Structure 1
Amino acid sequence: MWRLFLLAVRRPGRPVRFGRPSRGLTGHAGRSGVAAARPPGPRPSSGRLLTVIALVAFVSTADNAVLVAALTSIQSELGLGMAGAQWLGIAYMLAFAGLLPATGPLLDRWGPAGLRAGLALFASTSLAAATASDAVVLVAARAGQGAGAAIVVPGTLRLLRTGLPARHRPLGAAVWTAALAAALALGPWLGGVLTQHGHWSWIFLAHLPPLAAAAILLGRPAHDGAEPVRTAIPVGPALLAVAASTALTAAIVGWGQDWAWLPVAVGAAALTTLVRHELRSATPLFPREVVRNSAVLGSVGVLLPWGIGVSGAVYFTPMVHQDAFAQGPVAASLPLVVIAIAVVVATPAVVRITRWFGVRATVAAGCLVGGGGFLALAGTAHAPDLLSRVPGLVLLGLGAACTAPLTAHPLDTVAGRDSGTVAALLTAARETAAALGVALLGLVLARNAVADLAHGYATALVVAAALQAVAATAALTLLRPPEQAPP
């Protein structure tokens, strides 16, 4: 829920551009090169683009936040079990994570037309989710929303660099960050309000007005100020990544079932094919100099256990509060609001803390603080009141804020031409970890909640705390002081 916020606050003055830039220019067909220059055309004003940036940032960040408040209502109406509730989040996360590396080159080639296509995809799949009458259609629509997000998020970040004049780019980054913070704090509450006083379908219908407004404000500019390039779009490798992560996640969700071996086999085959492609291809999904970078690998190594624990526990919190304590969607979403406020308040101080104590100590301490928050929440898992949970929720938010250097640290060690690729890789790692967390902690919750849902929730929180300890150990072991980044 707060992953994009932690990414955006990294460098307000230097917005991140997703996607791999073109390397080398040539006029030969089938190779990378600059296309014929497009004639100048009308470009949206800075005010309109800033509004687009705010709208997309809010909608894309609030999407999962509003969903978790509506899970119980969706389960009740569509007859979903625990696995169905898990896939509503997993489908979005895996589509977003897996397709993200391919959308950068797509946007580099298509420019504003690619962003408009992403807005249309996000809007149409949101409408499909709102009108879904069975679980299969709803899960498919959620995957479509994830694919749309994989286009509109980097496409909107791209506007910061290609659409705004240099003097307005810091303001654009600040608007993006402010919109993320607002979605982070208000998303769970809005989801609860829409579900409790309307219908769960409203959480998806609510996407349509801001997405339509963004498309209208974007207009149809002839170009966005960037040189159009012809870059290879790695659709095949990206689909292999989605297939591998989806199959292996399905194996976790269905652990213990007779058919669980099948997704393991499919996932292993897809992963083997992807690795073989990456080792042999002249244009791998991620450049070799990036995946061999110790800072990048170290951050991913920390992000995975951290994200599995945090995202998995957060995803089921409103559902447990509604089912175990008979709370309404609004009251059940308040714990996430407390976490979000703690993240927003603490994040500005993390820059100074990192400067004083370094990346390793800051991230490791954040993981341990978050683990302490999970243990505190586990101790109050049977208490229905919010007040007893506030200390644990605040600790969890403070710990999450301290993981912000996991984005800044690797980006400081790579060449500028690779910064978009690294940002895409880190975002994909966060989303994949979130999907695995929903699968793993959902399995723990279901296996330990046969007689008492609150007991199963407490067990899942303890597992989340253990994962934070693993992440802290990884931070102390894998993270190193950044070396001088190449130009």
Structure 2
Amino acid sequence: MEAPSAPPTVALGGRAGRWIIVATILGSGVAFLDGSVVNVALPAIGRDTGGGFAVLQWVLDAYLLTLSALLLLGGALGDRYGRRLVFQIGLVVFTLASLGCGLAPDGAVLIIARLVQGVGGALLVPGSLALINSTIRPDDRGRAVGTWAGLTGVSSALGPFVGGWLVDAVSWRWVFFINLPIAAVALVVTARHVPETRSTGVTGAPDLAGAAAITLGLAGAIYALIELPVHGWNVLTAVALAAGVAGLVAFPLVESRTKGPIMPPALFANRQFTGANLTTFTVYSALSGALFLLSLQLQQTLGYSALEAGIATLPITVIMLLLSGRMGALAQRTGPRLPMTIGPFGCAAGLALMTLAVPGSSYPTGVLPGVLVFGLGLAVTVAPLTSAVLAAVEPARAGVASGVNNAISRLAGLVAVAVLPLVAGMTGPGATVGSGFGRAMVISAAVCALGGVLSWCTIDRRCPVESVAVPGLNHACQDPCTQHGSIEERTDRSSR
């Protein structure tokens, strides 16, 4: 059982509140920035380190592997041992790993450093909003989360531009070195100005067995998916696949028998929660796989520079920043089912249009139409999707539900980067990104459309949602058909 810590009393408008926001924005911002700059650096990394297409897959998937597997454990450790402490440890690990990435002499060292970087991210990412929730008083928390979301969104938006410029002007290594000064400032601000908080009355050991099972399962399965097309069947591949299957089978069994599981199986007894997370998996797998391959297509096949490739996909992030709030307001009036159905079909249309990005096409006719339509579809989808996830659970479980949804979105990217090139025929002898790009976009479009069908079949259309700030990793929402009282009262109850 877990008893909440004392109610937070820090006002957002005061000096202490402003420092807390600065620390959390810098800390989470460095992780979000890293996530958006690496894509545009991949061709330069491949040229410098060698190793072929599989190395580029691992550069992305090594980070996503440890991040997605350990994200929920990181949040639980913060609640138990101190949110500021775990946040600081995450910053240190992430910073040292970023230094290792930038100094890596070859692909193997870079991949190992990326694995460690994911561990740091798993401690860092859930801690940012947990610190806001546990320190900022309830009356100010919604505005604090909005400020956090807007400014971290800016860091994501600048990522492709900054990454492309660094690759072209200096070196791909500076894509990782740029994390060092940002994280250092975040560490100093956190140490000086952020109070320590933790949940009191926590009993039992952390769910290390569950974290180990899912990490082993994902690592073995992803290794087999990436390496099998390159090296064929051998002892290492067979052992990895067997270990992956064993870990993935063991994970739900461990979670069902653990007193405090990192991913409570009971959550998935709710049809809407399960459906919304399946939609998350489909949409984010299409997003991650398509943007990974589009960046390579633009640079390796169409001859774009790294900066030009980064700018080419920037409209997606700009549209998200401009329209996500409006789509969240629309979901309050209509319920999440309709936008969650229309949005993935819009994403699918955008991905289908990306098949026009072939040699000889110009940016306005070959790339921009797909980018714009995909960005619009994503903006329609994301805010209602978060609403649907949180509306499916009671307030006491909102933080866990949000964390699960966040982890599933990262897992979707992990799987997509490993699987999409394989099924699109990009990994065999003589295969190139250009030879399978069109097929990959069509496959991604079909996966996105499946997400729309899943939403229509599983999301409850009867109850609209209201946006409030609650514990967890997102600007979350509750269901007014099952909750009572004002937004402020419900937010206050969810913090206790």
Which TM class, normalised by the smaller chain length?
0.7 to 0.9
Partner of 2:368: 390
* Closer/same/farther in 2, CA of residues 24 and 184 from structure 1, 3 Å limit: closer
Taking structure 1 as the reference length, what is the TM-score of the superposition?
A: 0.87
1:455 CA drift (Å): 3.6
Distance 1:383 1:376, change over 3 A: farther
Aligned to 2:434: 454
Aligned equivalent of 1:89, options 60, 71, 82: 60
Instruction: Give the counterpart letter for 2:387 in structure 1.
Output: A
Q: Which aligned pairs between 1:50-199 and structure 2 lie closer than 5 A?
A: 50-111=21-82, 112-199=84-171
Q: Per-residue displacement from partner, 1:424-451 (whole Å, max 9, x unpaired)?
A: 1101100000111111222225148946
Structure 1 residues 44 and 113 mapped into 2: Cα distance closer, same or farther (>3 Å)?
farther
Cα gap change, 1:473 to 1:383, in 2 (>3 Å): farther
Q: Aligned to 1:306, which of 258, 267, 283?
A: 283
Q: Could you give the per-residue CA deviations for residues 65-121 of structure 1, whole angstroms, max 9, x where no partner exists?
A: 110111011100100311110111111112111101111221012222111111111
- Counterpart Cα distance in 2 of 1:44 and 1:144: 34
**In the alignment, what sits opposite 1:373?**
350
Instruction: Report the Cα offset of residue 250 of structure 1.
Output: 2.2
Query: 1:275 is matched with which residue?
Result: 252
- Counterpart CA distance in 2 for 1:23 and 1:226 is 10
Identity of aligned residues (%): 24
Paired residues in the alignment total 451
Structure 2: which 5+ residue stretches go unaligned? 7-13, 464-478, 484-492
- Given that 1:441 and 1:460 are in contact with CA atoms closer than 8 Å, whether structure 2 keeps it comes out as yes
Q: Secondary structure at the match of 2:426?
A: helix
- Indicate the SS of the match to 1:330: helix
1:136-162 deviation line (CA, Å, top 9, x unaligned): 211111111111111111111111122
After TM superposition, give the deviation of residue 454 of structure 1 in Å.
Answer: 2.7
Residues 288 and 100 of structure 1: is their aligned pair in 2 closer, same or farther, counting only changes over 3 Å? same
Measured against aligned partners, the alpha-carbon deviations of 1:172-209 in whole angstroms (never above 9, x if no partner) come to 21221112221222101110001110011101110011
For residues 28 and 88 of structure 2, the distance between their equivalents in structure 1, rounded to whole angstroms, comes to 15
Matched, 1:400 2:400: no
| Partner residue in 2 for 1:9 | none
Quote the Cα distance in structure 2 between the aligned partners of 1:449 and 1:362: 42
Instruction: Specify the alignment match of 1:247 in structure 2.
Output: 220
CA distance in 1, matches of 2:71, 2:419: 23
8 Å Cα contact 1:296-1:410 kept in structure 2: yes
CA spacing shift, 1:136–1:395, aligned 2, 3 Å: same
Distance in 1 (CA, whole Å) between partners of 2:151 and 2:355 is 32
- 1:240, CA displacement in angstroms? 1.1
Residue 327, structure 1, aligned to residue 299, structure 2? no
The aligned counterpart of 2:476 is none
SS at 2:381's partner residue? coil
Deviates more, 1:270-279 or 1:257-266: 257-266
Distance in 1 (CA, whole Å) between partners of 2:357 and 2:112 is 36
Letter in 2 for 1:233: P
State how far apart, in whole Å, the 1-side matches of 2:147 and 2:194 are: 25
> Which protein has greater RCO, CA pairs closer than 8 Å, 6+ apart?
1
Give the Cα separation in 2 of the matches to 1:314 and 1:462: 13
Q: Distance in 2 between matches of 1:377 and 1:347?
A: 22
Q: Gaps spanning 5+ residues in structure 1: where? A: 1-21, 26-33, 36-42
Match of 1:463 among 415, 431, 443: 443
Aligned to 1:421: 400
Give the TM-score, by structure 2 length: 0.85
SS of alignment partner, residue 161 of structure 2: helix
What are the superposed Cα offsets for residues 226-259 of structure 1, whole Å, 9 maximum, x if unpaired? 5545353212211211111222222222344214
Q: Is the 8 A contact 1:363 1:403 kept in 2?
A: yes
Counterpart Cα distance in 2 of 1:265 and 1:242: 14
Q: CA RMSD in A?
A: 2.4
